[in-house]
């Protein structure tokens, strides 16, 4: 922990969430209201004794409070504000950390604005030849992409939603559901509690994998779905029907920019509920620790897919019962990140492709094989990284399969709790592969895999010398 620790915003946010006055919280922490006011305004650093009392009052683990939760926000800001289009000269990490700590909501809005700018610039570049001219140009309004707004919301919530998670676990227990008979149990639940009939249907090309007809109260599932996918879709529908109020409350709190984004968020939260119902928190967390987070063994215990288990592992952040913090990511063959969730300090790229040295890319060369990598990010934090391909079947000859690589990882501080650390040289400084977030913001000067220099850097060109490193910069 740093000599001086300032957590004013976090402390104020915790107090607001519990609806406590400064005087009330000061009494619980056994300090004066004036001292608490100074702490919340970052005028005084936190002492160890006060920090420990805070964790006790709010039922938090120390790591959850003092770890750099804002690191992902700072990383995003650094990528955005150091874009040459926004001005010359780089803004240092200290200044960015100060700005993020002083007003994290403002920092998020700056990121949102930059993201909109990036999307608009890419769209303009791609359709430059077809842009209208004259008066028509003023009426041209390119559509916004709401998925990133929802993805960011999940990201900043650490991919954990306690009301939904608790509701799923209560439903699992109340209905007496079991992994070995989960599909039958969910079908019975939908019929008994919601008067919904489930049927399997043959689906032609372009059909739906799941369709709910409100008038007939019929849920149709594609016969092409695997058993784990059928259970997940049944649980998804159960979440929409039984937890609509909870989902709507969470969506309202997200303050998303459009109705499209709110609709996407509802689907995402229903999917979250589905994962929590198929793999209920306490039972899943207990098995995960006992099996040292072996994904394949967890698959067999809960009848879930490899991707579903990896995703669920990244959500085990219930206060007072936290699991190992994992990141979860899904990447397509072009390097696009289609899913990303994290309870770690691992930084995902917001703009452009991911680091080519990361093992999620290598996974495509070894279909179905689990790859393990010891990797170190530029901030010095090392991770045990697991990657494996997954395939979504097209269902017919004329409908191609979709291939993705799923990545799962945790910091090496938790390596002893993860089966995939077996055989890794965790102590060797040179054993870890040096990866980065993205070439745009990675400052590693000796990377031979670099696609282009980092933003804001000064490139050195020597016509008489060619280095193995693609770009020399300072």
Domains of the chain in sequence order: 8-66 (1.10.260.40), 159-278 (1.10.10.2910), 314-437 (3.30.450), 443-474 (no CATH)
> Cβ(418)–Cβ(294) under 8 Å?
no
Using CA atoms, how far residue 23 sits from 6, 143, 358, in Å, is: 20, 48, 49
pLDDT of residue 85: 65
- Each residue's pLDDT tens digit, 380-421: 889 999 999 999 887 778 788 899 999 999 999 999 999 999
CA 9 to chain centroid: 22
Rg (CA), the chain: 24
Residue 170: both structure tokens together: 């209560």
> Cβ(276)–Cβ(308) under 8 Å?
no
For the chain, first and last CA: distance in Å?
31
User: Residue ranges of the chain with pLDDT lower than 50?
Assistant: 1-3, 128-144
What is the per-residue burial (b if ≥16 Cβ within 10 Å, else e) of 233-256? bbbbbbbbbbbeebbeebbeebeb
Residues in CB range of 331: below 8 A, 6 or more apart: 337, 338, 354, 360, 361, 404, 405, 407
pLDDT of residue 139: 43
pLDDT of residue 142: 45
pLDDT of residue 2: 44
pLDDT of residue 89: 60
Using CA atoms, how far residue 233 sits from 237, 252, 281, in Å, is: 6, 24, 19
């Amino acid at each position: 922990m740093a000599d001086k620790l300032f957590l004013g915003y976090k402390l104020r946010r915790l107090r607001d969430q519990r609806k406590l006055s400064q005087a009330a919280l000061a009494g619980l922490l056994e300090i004066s209201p004036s001292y608490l006011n100074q702490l919340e305004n970052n005028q005084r650093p936190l002492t160890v004794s006060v920090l420990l009392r805070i964790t006790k009052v709010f039922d938090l683990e120390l790591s959850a409070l003092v770890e750099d939760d804002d690191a992902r926000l700072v990383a995003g800001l650094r990528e955005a504000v150091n874009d040459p289009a926004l001005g010359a000269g780089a803004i240092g990490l200290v200044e960015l950390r100060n700005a993020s700590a002083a007003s994290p909501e403002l920092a998020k809005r700056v990121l949102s604005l930059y993201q909109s700018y990036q999307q608009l610039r890419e769209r303009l570049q791609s359709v430059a030849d077809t842009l209208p001219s004259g008066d028509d140009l003023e009426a041209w309004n390119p559509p916004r992409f709401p998925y990133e707004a929802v993805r960011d919301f999940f990201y900043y919530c650490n991919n954990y939603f306690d009301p939904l998670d608790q509701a799923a676990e209560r439903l699992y227990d109340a209905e007496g559901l079991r992994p070995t008979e989960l599909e039958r149990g969910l079908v019975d639940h939908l019929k008994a509690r919601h008067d919904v009939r489930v049927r399997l249907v043959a689906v032609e090309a372009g059909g739906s994998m799941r369709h709910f007809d409100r008038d007939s109260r019929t849920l149709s599932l594609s016969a092409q779905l695997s058993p784990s996918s059928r259970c997940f879709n049944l649980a998804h529908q159960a979440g929409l029907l039984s937890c609509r109020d909870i989902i709507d409350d969470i969506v309202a709190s997200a303050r998303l920019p459009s109705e499209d984004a709110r609709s996407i968020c509802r689907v995402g939260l229903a999917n979250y509920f589905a994962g929590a119902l198929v793999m209920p928190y306490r039972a899943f967390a207990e098995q995960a620790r006992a099996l040292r987070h072996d994904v394949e063994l967890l698959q067999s215990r809960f009848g879930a897919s490899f991707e579903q288990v990896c995703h669920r592992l990244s959500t085990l952040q219930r206060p007072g019962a936290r699991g190992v913090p994992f990141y979860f990511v899904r990447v397509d063959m072009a390097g696009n990140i289609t899913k990303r969730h994290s309870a770690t300090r691992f930084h995902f790229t917001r703009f452009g492709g991911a680091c080519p040295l990361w093992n999620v890319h290598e996974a495509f060369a070894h279909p179905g094989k689990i790859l393990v990598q010891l990797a170190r990010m530029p901030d010095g934090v090392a991770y045990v990284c697991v990657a494996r391909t997954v395939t979504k079947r097209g269902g017919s000859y004329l409908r191609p399969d979709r291939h993705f690589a799923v990545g799962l990882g945790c910091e090496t501080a938790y390596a002893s709790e993860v089966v995939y650390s077996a055989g890794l040289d965790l102590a060797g400084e040179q054993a870890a592969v040096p990866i980065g977030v993205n070439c745009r913001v990675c400052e590693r000067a000796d990377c031979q895999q670099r696609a282009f220099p980092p933003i804001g850097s000064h490139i050195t060109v020597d016509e008489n010398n060619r280095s193995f490193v693609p770009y020399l910069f300072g």
